Amino acid sequence: MAETFRRDSQLQEGGRSYFIPLLLIAIALVIWAGFQTTQLLRERKYLKTVLDNQSPTVEQAQKLRAQLDSIAKGTLQLANQGNSSAKIIVEELRKRGVTINPGDSPKK
C-alpha cells in the first residue's frame, strides 16, 4: 500500500498532463474556424456585390443580343425572299460561324 502511494505521488510530481496541450490545440482550432468563417462571410459579401454590379451590364447585353437576333432574322427573311444583298450577308455570317435561327428563341 505504501508502494502504491509512492507511485501516485511520483506521477503527480514528474508525470506529464495532456490537459494543457489539448486545451491549446482546441483553442487554436476554435480560433482558426472563427477566422475561416469570417473570411468566407467577407468573401461572400464581396461576390454578392460583384454580382449586383454586373446585373445592369448583363441586362444590357441581353437586350442588345435580342436586337441583333431580330436584325439577323429580318435579314434571313429578306434572303429567303430573294434579296441578293441579304443573301450575301447571310452567307458571310455563315462563313464566320454565325448561325441564324429563323424561329423564336426561348426567353430565360
What is the pLDDT, as a whole number, of residue 38?
Answer: 98
Q: What's the pLDDT tens digit per position in 26-37?
A: 999 999 999 999
Judged against a pLDDT cut of 80, whether residue 12 lies above it is answered with no
Average pLDDT over residues 8-36: 85
* Per-residue H/E/C for 90-106: HHHHHHCCCCCCCCCCC
How far is C-alpha 67 from the geometric centre of its chain's CA atoms? Answer: 29
Average pLDDT over residues 56-72: 94
**For all residues of the chain together, what is the average pLDDT?**
86
d(CA 75, CA 79): 6
